[in-house]
Amino acid sequence: MGLRRSDSAARLFLGFLVLSMAPLSIHARFVVEKNSLRVTSPDRIRGTYDSAIGNFGIPQYGGSMAGNVVYPKDNQKGCKEFSDYKITFESKPGALPTFVLVDRGDCFFALKVWNAQRAGASAVLVADDMAEALITMDSPEEDGSTAKYIENITIPSALIEKSFGETLKKAYNSGEMVNVNLDWREAVPHPDDRVEYELWTNSNDECGVKCDMLMEFVKDFKGAAQILEKGGYTQFTPHYITWYCPEAFTLSKQCKSQCINHGRYCAPDPEQDFSTGYEGKDVVLENLRQLCVFKVANDSKKPWVWWDYVTDFQIRCPMKEKKYNKECANAVIQSLGLDVKSIEKCMGDADADSDNRVLKEEQDAQVGKGSRGDVTILPTLVVNNRQYRGKLEKGAVLKAICSGFEETTDPAVCLSGDVETNECLENNGGCWRDKSANLTACKDTFRGRVCECPLVDGVQFKGDGYTTCEASGPGRCKINNGGCWHEARNGHAYSACTDNGEVKCKCPPGFKGDGVNSCTDIDECKERKACQCPECSCKNTWGSYECSCGGELLYIRDHDACISKTATRETRSAWAAVWIILIGLAMAAGGAYLVYKYRLRSYMDSEIRAIMAQYMPLDSQAEVPNHVNEEQRA
């Protein structure tokens, strides 16, 4: 019981921390990004009305969209699937897209938009259900079921005032064609030829759907961000939110595990569980490190390296592999050619009971100024000091940034969306490489450089792409000996690469060692007790040995023994016996032939004699009549 109570106390406390976030200003100030919605017909209600862009879907920053308003007969709140009511908003080819008007209430904004999108809507207008100032429609806090569809919302949506909603409904219900034009062209101010933008982010990679989405975005957007930055078109600044621990709690266990600098800078526990895994403090420290990576890179006029650092850190040092720590971070910093010492100096002392300069600036920046409200939601993107609304997705964000340039000053990347650089040229992009074999894991892609083990001559290399890549699968030994030891001497060549099995490098017989860096010759005479019979004399060679036997003896390697040569004579006599049998057989065959031949001839002789006897008297008469008689009888 005691345990459970303290657990729920911890939760409550966490809730308190989250609720009291950004507590530097007493009343958080939300600024609603408005864009204009223009009614083009019917004439009676022509004019421009305010609307607030939803915080999901893909708004067309810099563009506009014209459409026909439809107010469904049933399911007017859009909380159920429209197909249940046999309603579809698919517009016929050539017709204007459909703007579906739904009423606020009963379910999440995002669900209404999702249902309308699935029924074929091109945009959604949500009519407020009470007379009040417009608010921003936010996506619901993710739980398993909502997260799935929010990801897939692509159509834009906007909240409109109750009275304007009534006007639209009345016109639609009286059978009039209601045409509107949603315009995002003024959504981002575009005063000059440089866009300033900032991303409020977090290094925590285990917070579920929102973290995954943020990491995906950073990876995708990196290429474009780096081009814009290198070309001087943008000035990007990353930001990190921290909370402070209320003074009364600074000495509590919870604050100690979530905060650094005596409760001044805190982050919620990544797993929301104080007993396991990483602590909020670990997140604050990594956030601070990422800020310092930016500062140090920015000071050396290479602010874009921050994008490489955060993406590499995500890949190489994830929490679930227990690598979310200083050692792993420093390895990434070094591979990017940044100075670890300067970054540590910038981070300062986390245990000091004093302000941290860098994090103090961040807390101050959290407070809204000008047209930007307080930053309380992660992630938040701010473009030209306006909060970006919509899905955090490469194309949509690029549109928003590009719409922030003064006309005709947009860089090429805004016009084509293409990204062309080769970041592998410098320091090999911080990726793995094997100089001797001229192999690299660095690939230049439209998303910026990625470190991926290469495919060479049909052989796939495997590894993290940063520090290791190894050839794997059949044929791996063809490439650089599969990274294993190999050496040739006096016309003999040996390789430790094995083509199959778990062990990749194994010294060949006659050698010992790790098989990767070295294999050394085994002195078989000494170490293996080879060739040790009394008559033997052993001589070690590289990779093998030679053994010779004294006197009449012969060395048999398979048995490592000397044997007498007489054994060989016996073998010979055995062969002789075989020969004798064979010759005997041949002679018997020849004899049989001769006998046959002889009998044939004697038969022939008697025949001839019988014939001749008919003409002349012969000495031996006795034989003849017999034969003739027989002849005649026949």
Ligand X SMILES: *[C@@H]1O[C@H](CO)[C@@H](O)[C@H](O)[C@H]1NC(C)=O
The rounded distance, in Å, linking the Cα atoms of 126 and 169 is 12
Selected from 29, 46, 148, 597, the binder of ligand X by CB under 6 A is: 148
**Shortest Cβ distance from residue 485 to ligand X (Å)?**
22
Q: Which of residues 436-475 bind ligand X (CB under 6 A)?
A: 438
Which residues, in sequence order, are CB contacts of 274 under 8 Å at separation 6+? 10, 253, 254, 257
**Shortest Cβ distance from residue 145 to ligand X (Å)?**
9
| CA of residue 79 relative to chain centroid, distance | 37
Nearest to 120 by CA among 98, 90, 93, 141: 90
DSSP letter for each residue of 489-553: ETTEEEE-B-SSSS-SB-PPTTEES-SSS--EE--HHHHS--S-STTEEEEEETTEEEEEE-TTE
**Shortest Cβ distance from residue 295 to ligand X (Å)?**
6
**Shortest Cβ distance from residue 303 to ligand X (Å)?**
6
Selected from 50, 149, 470, 606, the binder of ligand X by CB under 6 A is: 149
Query: Residue 319 or residue 479: which is nearer to ligand X going by CB?
Result: 479
Query: Residue 295 or residue 443: which is nearer to ligand X going by CB?
Result: 295
Q: Sign of the CA dihedral 165, 128, 72, 179?
A: positive
Query: Residue 438 or residue 490: which is nearer to ligand X going by CB?
Result: 438
Query: Residue 469 or residue 519: which is nearer to ligand X going by CB?
Result: 469
Q: For the packed helices 326-335 and 340-347, what is the interaxial angle rounded to 10 degrees?
A: 130
Q: Which stretch binds ligand X (CB under 6 A): 144-152, 363-371, 589-597, 613-621?
A: 144-152
Number of neighbours of residue 395 by Cβ within 10 angstroms: 13
- Contact letters (x/-) for ligand X, 278-307, by CB under 6 A? -----------------x--x----x----
Query: Residue 196 or residue 355: which is nearer to ligand X going by CB?
Result: 196
User: Any idea what DSSP says for residue 224?
Assistant: H
Selected from 41, 76, 146, 237, the binder of ligand X by CB under 6 A is: 237
**Shortest Cβ distance from residue 438 to ligand X (Å)?**
4
Number of residues this chain uses to bind ligand X (CB under 6 A): 9
Instruction: Please report whether residue 597 would count as binding ligand X according to CB under 6 A.
Output: no
Phi-psi sector, 91: left (phi>0), alpha (psi -120 to 50), beta? beta
**The token pair that represents 475 in the structure block:** 């044929």
What's the burial of 351, exposed, middle or buried (CB within 10 Å: 0-12/13-18/19+)? exposed
Provide the 3-class DSSP secondary structure of residue 372: strand
- Please calculate the CA angle 188-193-198 and round it to the nearest 5 degrees: 55
Provide the 3-class DSSP secondary structure of residue 430: helix
Q: Which stretch binds ligand X (CB under 6 A): 47-55, 147-155, 193-201, 585-593?
A: 147-155
- 50 φ, ψ to 5°? -80, 150
**Shortest Cβ distance from residue 361 to ligand X (Å)?**
8
**Shortest Cβ distance from residue 336 to ligand X (Å)?**
17
Query: Residue 298 or residue 385: which is nearer to ligand X going by CB?
Result: 298
**Shortest Cβ distance from residue 372 to ligand X (Å)?**
16
Instruction: Please report whether residue 152 would count as binding ligand X according to CB under 6 A.
Output: yes
Query: Residue 455 or residue 580: which is nearer to ligand X going by CB?
Result: 455
**Shortest Cβ distance from residue 291 to ligand X (Å)?**
9
Query: Residue 219 or residue 302: which is nearer to ligand X going by CB?
Result: 302
H helices within 317-380, ranges in order? 326-335, 340-347, 357-366
Where along the sequence are the contacts to ligand X (CB under 6 A)?
Answer: 148-149, 151-152, 237, 295, 298, 303, 438
